[in-house]
Structure 1
Amino acid sequence: MDGIWCLLFLLPLLTWASAQNVHRRMEYKYSFKGPYLAQKDNQVPFWTYTGNAIASEESVRITPSLRSQKGQIWTKNPTNFEWWEVEFVFRVTGRGRIGADGLAFWFTNAAGVEGPVFGSNDQWNGLGVFFDSFDNDNKRNNPYIMGMVNDGTQVYDHEHDGLTQQTGGCLRDFRNKPFPVRAKIEYYKNILTLFIHSGMTNNDKDYEICMRAENIQLPSAGHFGVTAATGGLADDHDVLKFIVHSLRSPEDMAQLSVNQEEEEKFKKEFDQYQDKTKKAREDYLAQNPDAARQEQKEEYETGEERELRQIFQGQSLIAENIRSLHQKMDEIVGRQERTLGLINNIGSGAVAPGGGVPPVGGVPPVGGNVVGSDNIRRHEVDALLNNQRDIVSTARDIKNFVNEIHQKSNQLLTKSSAPQGSAQPVGYDLHVTLKEMQEGLNIVKRDLGSANQHLQRIPAGGGAQGCPQANCVSTSMFIGFIVLQVVLLIGYSMYRDSKEAQAKKFY
């Protein structure tokens, strides 16, 4: 009986001693952690993420706190080691007292695809560790952590949260913890062990065992992955760190050391051969100086030289394009000059009575009546008539406008001359000003009438009479002057009315 107790006491010590001899090596191609987790192209090196997963510099958010979301991240390459240990640091946070659906760690023979089991496919071949935060069977046993090994034939039992299919598990609350929750999953010599850090302290060594199972058969090479899913309820599922260590026994290390000895032997032989080749090259260059100079010219360029060469090539290409553009511009300018020359020749040359153009060289046809360039042409007459019609129309509009202003000024004069109430009559200065304005308008009206009559006397058949040379006021200046007078008149009337209203107060 005492021997049995001694064996039970020594067994953990022997296991611990054997574990101390295990060689641990970090596998960076199967790991990720912050900072600078996501690169400039928003990709995680050696990993691929799909669905609703989002990678940032500090973590990978597998799913955001939105309903009906699924996300996943998987290693691109399968493992090349049989035994391993994974340190898995994550946060599950949400506003509600209950979250959904949960997070899953995977080691399967092939990278998973989107599916119903915590965001990944069902009937997988390998290991799945589920951090289930929603109670589907209403037994009040969630949040729950469980491990399940599947050979590719089992279908996950959602109604009972997979409790009948689990390899092992424990009841732990991992939601809304003050510190990140840590999980350490170890698979060595067909023994699967799961350790959980509660997230209540910042001590990264404060682990407690959650499950341990023996005779576990997992694929010798597989893909690591993390998936998550939300349903009617939602949580943020963030993975901060995923560190993988390969585990090798002393026997495996001895085999590796033998392989390393062979590798060092081959490396030594390669170095000797490389030194021999280098010496032969130096001897050849010493005997052939011309070849040495040629080789110096053909040496590999540095980064600065490569950059300068690329800049020079780009500038040369730009200069060539500019040169071709200059040639095309010269061609266009030449064509324009030739066209303008032809137009000038046509304008300054002779025109036949039928409107024909003289032949090349400016020689008019024999026997035809030649009309000089000083005589007016039909299109010029039409343009002149159109301009005269526009002037007549504008003059009529101005005349109508002046008549309206004249009528309004007469009304203002009539209104201002009539006494209003007990106010005093308008002063002498106002009457004089208004009469002067009326006389000026009459003069403008008379001038416009004479101008209109003169324009109407122009024959419609196309006389070549020009406009009389006179210093006239432009239309815009005249209209501006009239508007200014009206504004002054209205302003003065308003000022007078205000003065009369003030005068009434004293009576």
Structure 2
Amino acid sequence: MEDSAVQREVWESRIPVCFRVSPNELTCIERPKSIFMLVPRNSYFPLVTGKVFKYIASFVEAPSESEFWLEYSGIPLRWYYPVGLLFDLMKQDSSDPWQVTVHVKDYPREDLIVCSSLQVVEAHFIQTVKQADQIKHRSRIMNSMQKHGQKQLWNALVTSRFDQFWEVNRLLMRNSEDERIRHLPIKLYNKDYTFVQRLWPAYLSEEKDAELTKASDLLRLAGDRLAHLSIDRIKLLCQASRKSPLFELLPVELQLLAACKHRWKMDHSFYAPKLNLRSGRIPFWELTGDAIPGPELLRLVPSVKSKSGVAWNLKRMVESQWWVVEFSFQIKGPGKIGADGMAFWYTANKGSLGNVFGSSDKWYGLAVFLDSYDNDGKGDNPLVGAMINDGTKQFDHTSDGKTQLFASCRNDYRNRPFPVKVRVEYRENNLFVSITDGLSPHSPFQACLSASNVFLPVNGFFGISAATGGMADDHDVFSFMVFALFPETAAMSAKPQMTEEQRRLQLEEFERKLKEFETAKEKYKAEHPQAKPDHTSDEDEESFERTEEDQSLRQLRLFLESQNSIRLAVERFGSMLNHISEQQSALSVALSNRPAGGAPVAPGTQGSLPAGHTISRVEVDQIMEFINSAKAVFQQQQQSLHQLMSKLGGMEITVQALSAAGPTGGGQHGMDSFTLNAIRPYLDGIKQDLERLNSIQGTKALPFSNSEGRCLNPTLFGIALTVQSFVLVAMIYFRSRSDKVKFY
């Protein structure tokens, strides 16, 4: 099967989950029904439990989303773990639906972080992607990726769209000579929710043409790097080809599952760097004798003769009856013969300085000796041996305790280039000791000794000691790691198993609920044909996704709509500019069709601009300014004509009044008939000319350009007419006034 097909198959896989409300939290008589859902493996529970909360809200009193949490077999489910990872951690049998209990009260805040909103889940997911990119590419891809790329990655996970997700994820999977993947983002998960993460190499060596790490190399790498975890089996969450590079298996990180429960105990361990505090002591440990703590190592004894030192843990091992201890050390000296050696202790009570490799004799418990001096001269040292003491036996130094050791092995651990590791495992009354050769930093463990029916005291103390005699070596310890074991067999035996009848009934109930749902769906479509148009199933899912979109999707949709409206506005503005440009072109054509003398072009004729000539904006502004000034002059002339007409009307009334008056007192008060008859034709002619001019000015539109040069200017004509009228009126006035003077 191709890698892309495996990726799609894992992406599209679903887990059947049955959500049931805790009966202790119900406040009504009616009991809610179970909710069956097919949840994607790559999804998170907060993305799919919104409907569950809405359904059970009517069955409990004052429900709150902040108090909503899930539980399986008494263990709270961590919402920030993928659903597939939780299923593999918790569920042993995958043949029936996963029974998950829903709670809406008593949120376990001590064991579980509160999920306040979907934005928190999104932030956690993006942060996980950034961590994976830091391991692979030193964050080069995520730092150069824009915000919408990260948003597309999250939206594709929410809507379960494989192609949309891998459109962005291909950038994170980039592996070329310029952007070569350095390490693999792999996590090894334990069933108690803890995990171990190491820098797994993407290539089997540092050479340029090195081979990529494949799935077939996984067990070997786990044995080299994580052997202290006592992994019984490792399960890949995606069933991929063993020939595929590991970095191509999962989009973000490779999740591994350890079958055996174990937990590292910090208060029983120490390790470099910063092994000691500023005060010089090691937390949770007590040092006596010549032991010297440092930031990088604990030197139990220096290379000085007749010295001894011991370190004892201050706390009892009360977490579990079974345990694993791994410590790394180096024994170095100038000569071929070393002395005396080192010892690991697990006893009912703490010891003190003594003559048994630096600790006291007659202990009650287990001692694993690293004896580097051959006291009996048989040439069987250095060796690793184990001895159990009931508190009454005294160690035999002359024979190196050969008769007292219940198991031993030969191993030359002196003067090795790298620290040697020893692992002591005590599980279900079985003891296993293994050791590395110290020839490389990642040398594999090799079995040294084992024994069964070993009964050790419960809740004992851990210790480590060393001593020198006539010869002297440096005895250094770099780390001492303790893990509490919780065997899976005990948990499985205590856990009630589901019978075949119960499994069959649950599967039947699941199928019946599924059929009822399909029937109700078809019935609703038949009863409400107008509620929703006829769409395909894919379109129905897309419509449902649009109605259930979260706040971030809504903001993205509004942003796209606003951009679309801006684009339409720009298009409308562009069309307006094109229309204005056409009008300017028409105006320039009209101007170019006029002769140089200014005469208008005959109707029906068209002119054209010279080829390549266009009218400029400055010329258009000058034309518009000329039109506005011509319009102002026309309005001013029209106003002057109206004023002149009113004045002539008043003059006509005055003349008529004067002509109607008779002579008085032997003198002449008005005009004589000769004068009146002489003036009347002139006045009538002026009035007719003005009325004809006024009618022409009121009906005729403003010409586009000036008239011909031989025509009379309207302004000059109006001025001349006004002067002539005033001269006539003045002549009549003065003549009548002279007659009145003569009369008086």
Q: TM-score by structure 2 length?
A: 0.32
Output the TM-score relative to the length of structure 1.
Answer: 0.46
